[in-house]
Chains A and B, each alone.
Chain A
Amino acid sequence: MKIDWAALGSVFGVSLVVTVALVALFTLGITGLSRRERAAEQGRSAALALTGAYACFAACAAAVGYGIYLIMA
């Protein structure tokens, strides 16, 4: 009986890092969007926040795409 600790460890590490990173990115994106929402209410523009938000979402979408690629592989 041999337990593959290396595989288990890497699953743990990868899951932890990817989950936290994805959630962080996505939350930043949402924060950016709601900042723009507030700015729009006050009649200001928040181009930087919006760009940042879209960059974050794009990264998340890429991760989802990679996930689908992994499912198909």
Chain B
Amino acid sequence: MESFSLILAIVVVTALAFDFTNGFHDTANAMATTISTGAMRPKAAVAMSAVLNLVGAFLSVEVANTISKGLVDETGIRPEVIFAALVGAILWNLLTWLVGLPSSSSHALMGGLIGATVATAGIGAVHGGVLVTKVLIPALAAPLVAGIAAMLAARLTYRLGRKADGKAAEKGYRAGQIASAGLVSLAHGTNDAQKTMGIITLALIAGGALAPDSDPPLWVILSAGVAIALGTYLGGWRIIRTMGKGLTDLQPQQGFAAQTSAATVILASSHLGFSLSTTHSVSGSVMGAGLGRKGGVVRWSTATRMFVAWGLTLPAAAVVAALAEWVCGFGDWGTALVALFLVASSAAIWKISRREVVDHTNVNDPGTPAEEPAGVVTQAIAAVTPPPTSTLEEELTATVPAPSVPAPTAPASAAAGADPANPPAKTTV
């Protein structure tokens, strides 16, 4: 068996790229509250999270063979389909990172798989019932479950801890937050790095480089773990800022309650067989903890934009993946075109992100009067970009920024929301 075709190599590299975006997209899940409450310095926090992600990738040998979770018919899946799915997932991850919104990387991946499968095998290959039970219901349930638990826990810790003050209490809450954040990081490494390993293994099997039903080879485990750790260390500072400061203002007690609730929900759900998204759980628990303090507020405008992004994740990734799969269908030059497009649009998104840099130095100062870091970013983008054309992006526009921005600025920011994905979209399709 000749070992490695070009398309396989491309899929593996793309999968690792997805793993990387997954890492920096989800740093916020583990570390946003820890950073915003000052329990750890930003760099130290992401470094710890990165190490634990790497460790997590090696902890479990239970192979993520259920990547698509029965969403699509996996028989006869070709490497090109997986490639197209990854393109959709990566672009959506980058786009939501640009506007600083936490969204589920797993949903993006599932959306990508659905879109690519539909494009290649028709709508019949997607199992609608599974879509509802594995995607829709968990997406609604996760923030509720984690939020209610975090709210009660925050209330309780304020009540019980009335007499806790001074250095001991401060140190205690700090240690508690670090421990629970570490647990989230570890669980994330296990779950999400495994997902990528599963994808690569699936591609290798589909491409005939591996025997069916084989375990991921060591180099796959190693590279997936390293990619996710590197991504985590890079830190998705924009999303960290939204989650740690944008949704609500957290005190150490709340940060502790939120992180504990998130860790518990993630572990309980994956263990009891009703898998919930890490991102959704953490966002929910942050909001719950925000409500759990007397006088605590949740910025519902930011929260609404986040919910909209969650709703769009799957369809948006699906549309991009379907387009990518369609172009790939033209043959090798089509695949090359998609690969080129992926690189170009990633570079473009990165370039746009440099206009307003968010990193470890300013992750904790959202500029209080603005209150909407992402909104500021969006408007900055709006100022420099051509008007949108594609329908998908218009949908995104209409829904995402609208609630957060007052009427006069709405058109501008609308154009902004649409834009990042847009110029690339024109080049491909």
Contacts and interface: CB of A to CB of B under 8 A. Distances in A.
A11 B268 contact: yes
Given A27-B160, A34-B166, A19 B150 contact: yes
A2 B296 CA distance: 38
A7 B274 contact: yes
Interface string A12-29: 101110111011101111
Contacts of B186: 68, 71
A23 to B, nearest CB: 4
B292 to A, nearest CB: 10
A67 B183 contact: yes
Interface stretch (B151-159, B210-218, B343-351, B386-394): B151-159
Interface in A20-70: 20, 22-24, 26-31, 33-38, 60, 64, 67-68, 70
A68 B183 contact: yes
B149 A20 contact: yes
B75 to A, nearest CB: 22
Nearest to B59: A72
Interface residues of A, number: 38
B70 interface: no
B56 A71 contact: yes
A67 B263 contact: yes
A24 B60 contact: no
Summarize A's interface: helix, strand, loop or mixed.
Answer: helix
Contacts of B2: none
Interface in B267-303: 267-274, 276
Contacts of A36: 168
Given A3-B133, A23-B256, A71-B190, A14 B268 contact: yes
Nearest to A35: B163
A24 B145 contact: no
14 contacts: A1-B128, A11-B265, A12-B141, A15-B264, A15-B269, A24-B160, A26-B172, A30-B164, A31-B161, A31-B164, A33-B164, A34-B165, A35-B163, A60-B176
Given A4-B274, A8-B274, A14-B272, 9 more contacts: A1-B129, A4-B133, A15-B269, A22-B260, A23-B154, A23-B256, A29-B172, A67-B267, A70-B270
